[in-house]
Chain A
Amino acid sequence: MAGGAASGGSATSDAYAPARGWLLMPAWLVLGIVVVAPVFLMLIYSFLTKEFRGGVIWEFSLEAYDQFFFDRGLFGDEPPTIQWAYIQIFWRSIWQATLATVLALLIGFPTAYFIATRPVQQRTVWVFLITIPYWVNLLIRTVSMRFILRDQGPLNDFLQWIGVIAEPLTIINTNIGVQLGLFYSYLPFMVLPLYAAIERYNFALSEAAADLYAPRRKILTRVVLPAVKPGVIAGCILVFVPSLGSFLAPDLLGGARNFMIGSLIDEQFRGSAGNWPFGAAAAMILLTLVLMVLMVLARQQARLEKGAG
């Protein structure tokens, strides 16, 4: 990489200032119209009345949120009680995403550390090996996972052949299948930021700790981990956030009983029985959740970086 980005560069960093508006216009137009405005539109939709064949009627209604949180009985005239079904789906999504994140961290950290301690020329090759699966179509990867984890799939064949199990394990259409799928989908997202952080880590600190009688385990927990914490946080966000809203893994590996938010939203828009305002409300709640996670972690990250520098 070209070094010294800050020096000298600052002086002409405003070279294109006069044309700024024109240069940003295309990005603003496309993203503004196709992404930003639609998110607001989605917010509005979540307060509209549903049309039965999909779409909305432009009349204000709180029905979508009401349906999400409360149960008013079969005819809608009993006093409201909390409706747990949808909250449970959200809760399950958070739980699944958390487990996938933890699993990815457990495998990802040693991998990132190992790569970061290789000689410089080897490192890029290792990183490249981790990157390739990330670039392979997510759908194909999930399908592969489904193929492997089937009852009669290669994994069960292998386990039976070596005699670990007598009967095939059922993994597809269980929570475990979804967790494995999410973990597999986003594992490279964990390794890359961790690697970036560990690569920047000053290994003289480890030497100093060893010099001061710290055993290996303590070097890891007391010196290395605190120093690379921003990388750990970044990796966790990059696995957790897409896992939370994931659609393919729960759909292809989880089946109907292991619904996650993604499937719930998908169901409202595709197919004719959809409830658009309800889907928009669920998407809004997911978006709010994600933004909250991002904000909390961004604040923590900022604090960490301030403390470090």
Chain B
Amino acid sequence: MIKLVSLSKHFGKTVVLDGIDLTIEKGEIVVIIGPSGTGKSTLLRCINFLEQPTSGTMTVGDLTVDVNRATRADILAMRRQTAFVFQNYALFANKTALQNIAERLLVVDKWPKEKAYQRAREILEQIGLPDKADAYPASMSGGQQQRVGIGRAMAAGAEVILFDEPTSSLDPEWVEEVLGLMKQLASEHQTMMVVTHEMSFARDVADRVIFIDGGRIVEQGPPSEMFQNPKDPRTKDFLKKILATNPTK
């Protein structure tokens, strides 16, 4: 379970997150939508401590931290509970697909080599790239790289996987395979928070859709309700614009 209590993030005088309260159940798939620059990515980055939140408390699994009192050990522990999938994949360029996935098991969890690589191979099977074990990121397509990026996040065995616009950098031809893998993960009840503009994914896969604007949660609900009867005028306006360019088919 994830619980955020009045989580805020200021960059200087700019308020990017303005007191977010949010509870996510284990196995829940939450899709976060909203206009650009409204704090969606920052929210995910704060949960992973890639950004230091300004105030609030966060609970992930059995770990609760007051962000202002978070020690270095708290931050590491929180990062280990939360895996991150990056928009630009961010694979380790000096490591093969297999090593990218095994890295966390070897270095952070201190698994013995054999066990770590065996687990990494299983994950390569799951993400449909068993023949790419020894391929370096530079030799893979964007879609394959992002699947390895997701594989790396899966290896963590994390409480939640945070997806930050995972298909936004992809050529259109690779989007489906990445969304397909995410659907597969969702069907295995992996807790997921996904920032995306893929409205069809939100409609088909999400348990809950959250609309964020101006650093606040404006409206949230099951996708059917959010897409068919949005209540807040800002949600209506945003959905009208985005569905015009990115229909749910």
Real complex partners, A and B? no
Which residue numbers of A lie inside 8 Å of B, CB to CB? none
